[in-house]
Amino acid sequence: MPTPATDGFHMPAEWAPHDRCWMAWPVRAETFLNGLDAARAAYADVAKTIAQFEPVTMICPEGEVADASLSCGKGVEILPMPLSDSWVRDNGPTFVVDGKGGVAGVDWGFNAWGGNYADFQPDTDVARRVMERLGLPRYEAPLIMEGGSFHVDGEGTLLTTEQCLLNPNRNPHLSKSEIEQHLRDYLGVSQIIWLGQGYEQDETDGHIDEIACFVRPGVVLTLTTDDTSDPNYKIFQDNLERLSMARDAAGRELEIVTVRPPARQEYNGVRLTLSYTNFYLANGGVVMPAFEDPADDEAYRIFRKLWPERQVVQVPALDIVRGGGGIHCITQQQPAP
């Protein structure tokens, strides 16, 4: 059976040029216990910010089109589509390119992060519906996985966590080597770097975008903390050690840049996954989170240094994080051909 790799496709890095950004309107009250109004205002803020750099399409149930249109304004396209949740990074398509003008989408199996929610059926069709709307090829992957669980450098290297991809609530019938082969087949990578655990109490079971990402080939941004009493301390130290020993697809040692998360915050007794690695790279811009914490300023300075050629914009993200994710989780880039 043809795969993206056999057809010459690979996933480009997120800093490659985009045609547009995809998002999905908040609709599940169960997800956003602080209220849908607050979540929708936060999503609209992110959408309007990204729209300053590139086109944005917001997927939205038919009955919410008017509200989404008024909230997001004329600069954001609203696309009616059945929807049960609003994390398009995870339930939408992952786009791949062939370097010859071709763009296709990978449709991962989706089971609501290992069965966290029961009524997720509409989200299993989002990737297919998006690709049909675009009129582009779609590859159906034999793997339960979410887009927030991996990050690529566009040159053959993939970063992920054992906690998520090897979790028995995703693909209990597959071995680690079998999962690695699927990643090679559907994302066109050759080198896979495994970190261990993700952010403490992350309901996605350790998505990589909460703890680490590529900045450019050979350079990784990752979370760290000096607080030895924080359960994340050992997690981050182990990940730093793994990154220090890793090599990318080109055989390079990795340059590691660290950023400290904000002070611990809880919501309804659960720790919030406050992470600066959960951001969106737009055409000419970086849309990063702000958490009403003094650490925001230091993170902003780090981002300005990492991306001097891009405009760095901080957007309030607490009302997104209270739903279980961040700016990267609610966005999905569609690369330019």
Distance in angstroms (rounded) separating the CA atoms of residues 58 and 69:
9
3-state secondary structure of 320: helix
324 token code pair: 């279980």
Taking the C-alpha atoms of residue 337 and residue 322, their distance in angstroms, rounded to an integer, is 35
CA distance 3 to 187: 9
The pTM of the full predicted model, rounded to 2 decimals, is: 0.97
* Alpha-carbon distances of 48 from 44, 52, 57, 68, 334, rounded to whole Å: 6, 7, 11, 12, 17
| Residues labelled as active-site residues | 329
DSSP 19: E
Sheet containing 94-97, strands listed edge to edge, beginning at the edge strand earlier in sequence: 94-97, 103-109, 138-144
- Answer CATH for 18-335 from 3.40.50.620, 3.75.10.10, 3.20.20.70, 3.40.190.10: 3.75.10.10
What's the Cα-to-Cα distance from 284 to each of 54, 106, 298, 313, rounded to whole Å?
9, 26, 21, 11
Low-confidence stretches of the chain (pLDDT < 70) are: none
CA dist., res. 25 & res. 72, Å (int)? 10
Cα–Cα distances (Å) from 8 to 11, 108, 139, in that order, read 11, 19, 13
Can you read off the two tokens belonging to residue 77? 């396209």
Tokens of 29: 């009250």
Q: What is the pLDDT of residue 173?
A: 97
The beta-strand segments (E) located in the chain are 18-24, 56-60, 76-80, 94-97, 103-109, 138-144, 150-152, 157-161, 191-195, 212-216, 219-223, 255-259, 266-267, 270-271, 280-282, 285-290, 311-316, 332-335
pLDDT score for 33: 79
Nearest Cα to Cα of residue 293 among 260, 269, 322, 326: 260
- CA angle, 126 then 67 then 318, to 5°: 75
Task: Report which residue type is found at 291.
Answer: F
Which two structure tokens, joined as six digits, stand for 4?
A: 């993206």
Domain limits, the chain: 18-335
Listed residue (300, 325, 275) closest to 90, CA to CA = 325
The token pair at 262 is 């904000």
**Total residue length of the chain:** 337
d(CA 4, CA 98): 9
Report which DSSP code applies to 53: T
Phi, psi torsion values for 244, nearest 5 degrees: -65, -25
Residues 273 and 313: their CA atoms lie apart, in Å, by: 20
What would the pLDDT profile of 157-214 be if each residue is shown by its tens digit? Answer: 999 999 999 999 999 999 999 999 999 999 999 999 999 999 999 999 999 999 999 9
